[in-house]
Amino acid sequence: NDEVKKLTEDPNQWVIQTGDYANTRYSKLDQINAGNVGKMQVAWSFSTGVLRGHEGSPLVVGNVMYVHTPFPNIVYALDLDNEGRIIWKYEPKQDPNVIPVMCCDTVNRGLAYADGKVFLHQADTTVVALDAKDGKVVWSVVNGDPKKGETNTATVLPVKDKVIVGISGGEFGVQCHVTAYDMKTGKLAWRAYSVGTDDQLLVDPEKTTDLGKPIGKDSSIKTWQGDQWKTGGGCTWGWYSYDPDLNLFYYGSGNPSTWNPKQRPGDNKWSMTIFARDPDTGVAKWVYQMTPHDEWDYDGVNEVPLVNQVIDGKERKLLVHFDRNGFGYTLDRETGELLVAEKYDPAVNWATKVDMDKNSKTYGRPLVVSQYSTEQNGEDVNSKGICPAALGSKDQQPSAYSPKTGLFYVPTNHVCMDYEPFKVSYTPGQPYVGATLSMYPAPGGNTMGNFIAWDATKGKIVWSLPEQFSVWSGALATAGDIVFYGTLEGYLKAVDAKTGKELYKFKTPSGIIGNVMTYTHKGKQYVAVLSGVGGWAGIGLAAGLTDPNAGLGAVGGYAALNNYTALGGQLTVFTLPE
Ligand SMILES: O=C(O)c1cc(C(=O)O)c2c(n1)C(=O)C(=O)c1cc(C(=O)O)[nH]c1-2
């Protein structure tokens, strides 16, 4: 069943959040292009009726647009023949007690379409399949338990006859996993944990590799003390990509729990790890851990776009990954071989480099600068001036790739932090954080973000556009030689894909943390984006916090956002004038 693959190859529609299985967020549409984007206008808009962080994007399937909201996770089917008249609306009943269990705002990264159904993974971890025609529930299944700290913010990946979903809870000591359900019935197919026994991990100690070597028996639990792996985190709330030819899907796992590194000696495998798994069985082909024994909350869940590019004169099947830890990685996606690992923000200081010497004992590991460790000789230390901050040189906001330029377009953070670990004990369903942070712009200026173009074959920044705040929206690249992104102040921007020159901007009603998408209707190209400030960067605004030291809602430099925007929830659709 390659229905989704076929649909994603049609540039007129947008049926999964990432646009295509490869997560390139590239569209072949070029009616709106570098020559005319400056004339773009608002075609119509739609209020979602919900405030707080709007992540993800709408879908377009035929003449219908599907729009989702943050908690309470309303779904609207809008008629494109009628400027967004509501065809149906689905509003799940969810216990509001799930809200305090969500670490980083009540966001949801959107819907997926396959097999005549719209898939929603709710905050309370209910996965629901809605009939695309009338919004009626076809099946629903409960994937986790919010009382244990398990919630969801991520989208769903439909692959062949299954849907694949992750889970959140790294700040609550959840033992996180990826789970596949039958697309037609919702029946459980398999579950693979990030941290756990070999049976739980779905690995083969002989065949599953790490940097080319078999991972061996008990590869995860041997790297924890005692039973700590049972509350070990490694959550799976990011973006998933899929290679139909290799029949492998890819994603990264999040932070080990707790944030206090002293409480969990060892490498804490396989938190902070990219997995390549078979979607039919869940079994891992290879793994690669970016940040062993994390001391900074550098979750490894960011998108893993799949591209074919030439390295050293040879075309390779690549996987690219802009990790929270500030390194841009390029790997061979068939084998997991590490090809490039370079800093994509010059401010990154916690490690000097990733060791690329295959004969070295520390091959593939970041070389940590002890001054920026948050643990010394087994004791907690308060460290200052660590770059990047916990929200990383990039968080979940996805990049785009243009095969025309061969460049990645990456929304980034330019933020550093002070980190104070403290002892915390585990109680199910209670925060298991164990550190306080303060976050501020990187030294040498007041800007907290850059929108960059990156060459993943060399590991080099090609151009960089400074932004006052982190760029928390997902990018879109098109065959029109332009790249779109949104800003936390609320601007939708279009820039020239080759030079980065700004060609268009429009201030939408609220800060943008949604991902820009494009489609056609009756032969005309449209660009759409959700506004609604929030997410971790904007959670201070979302929660009405202005105290720069307000714990996990550590708004820091983001408090100044109050001067530019306010809460919202709106879809804005753009096109060229007649
Ligand atoms: O460990 C986790 O389970 C977890 C979950 C989430 C989430 O579900 O949104 C975030 C994070 N961690 C996190 O570390 C983080 O920086 C973050 C930012 C955001 C966001 O949507 O802006 N979510 C999350």
Nearest to 193 by CA among 214, 219, 225, 155: 219
User: Ligand 1: which of 54, 68, 176, 237 to mutate, most ligand atoms within 8 Å of CB?
Assistant: 237
Domain boundaries, the chain: 3-575
- pLDDT the model gives residue 473: 98
- pLDDT the model gives residue 438: 85
Give yes or no for residue 181 CB within 6 A of ligand 1: no
Could you tell me if 551 and 53 are in contact, meaning their C-beta atoms sit under 8 angstroms apart?
no
Residue with the smallest CA separation from ligand 1 atom 2 is 170
Residue with the smallest CA separation from ligand 1 atom 20 is 535
Q: What is the Å distance from ligand 1's center to 315 Cα?
A: 35
**Nearest ligand 1 atom to alpha carbon 536:** 22
DSSP, collapsed to helix, strand or coil, labels residue 358 as coil
- pLDDT the model gives residue 556: 73
Q: Is 297 assigned a catalytic role?
A: yes
* Rounded distance between C-alpha atoms, residue 95 and residue 145, angstroms: 12
User: Ligand 1: which of 68, 103, 322 to mutate, most ligand atoms within 8 Å of CB?
Assistant: 103
Q: What is the Å distance from ligand 1's center to 107 Cα?
A: 9
In the chain the first and final C-alpha atoms are separated, in Å, by 40
* Rounded distance between C-alpha atoms, residue 77 and residue 530, angstroms: 15
Give yes or no for residue 37 CB within 6 A of ligand 1: no
Residue 163: both structure tokens together: 């849907």
Distances (CA, A) of 91 to 50, 80, 128, 548: 12, 21, 11, 35
DSSP, collapsed to helix, strand or coil, labels residue 564 as coil
**Nearest ligand 1 atom to alpha carbon 390:** 16
Residue with the smallest CA separation from ligand 1 atom 23 is 104
Instruction: State phi, psi for 195 to the nearest 5 degrees.
Output: -130, 130
- pLDDT the model gives residue 551: 44
Q: What is the Å distance from ligand 1's center to 504 Cα?
A: 31
Give yes or no for residue 254 CB within 6 A of ligand 1: yes
Could you tell me if 151 and 126 are in contact, meaning their C-beta atoms sit under 8 angstroms apart?
no
- pLDDT the model gives residue 444: 87
Catalytic pick among 297, 299, 380, 481: 297
Could you tell me if 531 and 486 are in contact, meaning their C-beta atoms sit under 8 angstroms apart?
yes
- pLDDT the model gives residue 546: 60
Could you tell me if 206 and 284 are in contact, meaning their C-beta atoms sit under 8 angstroms apart?
no
**Nearest ligand 1 atom to alpha carbon 154:** 8
Residue with the smallest CA separation from ligand 1 atom 5 is 168
Largest CA distance in the chain: 68
**DSSP-assigned letter for residue 418:** E
- pLDDT the model gives residue 552: 47
Give yes or no for residue 294 CB within 6 A of ligand 1: no
Q: What is the Å distance from ligand 1's center to 168 Cα?
A: 7
Q: What is the Å distance from ligand 1's center to 176 Cα?
A: 13
Exposure letters 559-578 (e unless 16+ CB within 10 A, then b): ebbeebbebbbbbbbbbbee
Q: Is the pTM of this model over 0.95?
A: yes
What secondary structure does DSSP assign to 262-306, as a single string? GGS-S--TTTTEEEEE-TTT--EEEEEESSTT-SS-----S---E
In the block, tokens 């798994």 appear at 277
DSSP, collapsed to helix, strand or coil, labels residue 96 as helix
- pLDDT the model gives residue 555: 63
* Rounded distance between C-alpha atoms, residue 255 and residue 259, angstroms: 8
User: Ligand 1: which of 271, 393, 396 to mutate, most ligand atoms within 8 Å of CB?
Assistant: 396
Bridge partners of 68?
75
Q: How many helices (H) and strands (E) does the chain have?
A: 3, 42
Nearest to 300 by CA among 222, 202, 231, 392: 392
Give yes or no for residue 171 CB within 6 A of ligand 1: yes
Q: Name the pairing type of β-strands 449-455 and 407-413.
A: antiparallel
Give yes or no for residue 98 CB within 6 A of ligand 1: no
Could you tell me if 207 and 214 are in contact, meaning their C-beta atoms sit under 8 angstroms apart?
yes
Give yes or no for residue 301 CB within 6 A of ligand 1: no
Give yes or no for residue 432 CB within 6 A of ligand 1: no
Q: What is the chain's pLDDT, residue by residue, as a tens digit (578 residues)?
A: 799 999 999 999 999 999 999 999 999 999 999 999 999 999 999 999 999 999 999 999 999 999 999 999 999 999 999 999 999 999 999 999 999 899 899 999 999 999 999 999 999 999 999 999 999 999 999 999 999 999 999 999 999 999 999 999 999 999 999 999 999 999 999 999 999 999 999 999 999 999 999 999 999 999 999 999 999 999 999 999 999 999 999 999 999 999 999 999 999 999 999 999 999 999 999 999 999 999 999 999 999 999 999 999 999 999 999 999 999 999 999 999 999 999 999 999 999 999 999 999 999 999 999 999 999 888 999 999 999 999 999 999 999 999 999 999 999 999 999 999 999 999 999 999 999 888 889 998 889 999 999 999 999 999 999 999 999 999 999 999 999 999 999 999 999 999 999 999 999 999 999 999 999 999 999 999 999 999 998 877 766 666 655 544 446 778 888 889 999 999 999 999 99
Q: What is the Å distance from ligand 1's center to 535 Cα?
A: 8
Q: What is the Å distance from ligand 1's center to 396 Cα?
A: 8
Q: The sheet that has 157-159: what strands, in order across it?
A: 157-159, 162-165, 177-182, 188-193
- pLDDT the model gives residue 446: 85
Could you tell me if 255 and 263 are in contact, meaning their C-beta atoms sit under 8 angstroms apart?
no
Residue 404: both structure tokens together: 């025309």
Residue with the smallest CA separation from ligand 1 atom 24 is 104
Q: The sheet that has 248-252: what strands, in order across it?
A: 213-214, 209-210, 284-289, 273-277, 248-252, 241-243
3-575: CATH topology is Methanol Dehydrogenase; Chain A (2.140.10)
Q: What is the Å distance from ligand 1's center to 103 Cα?
A: 6
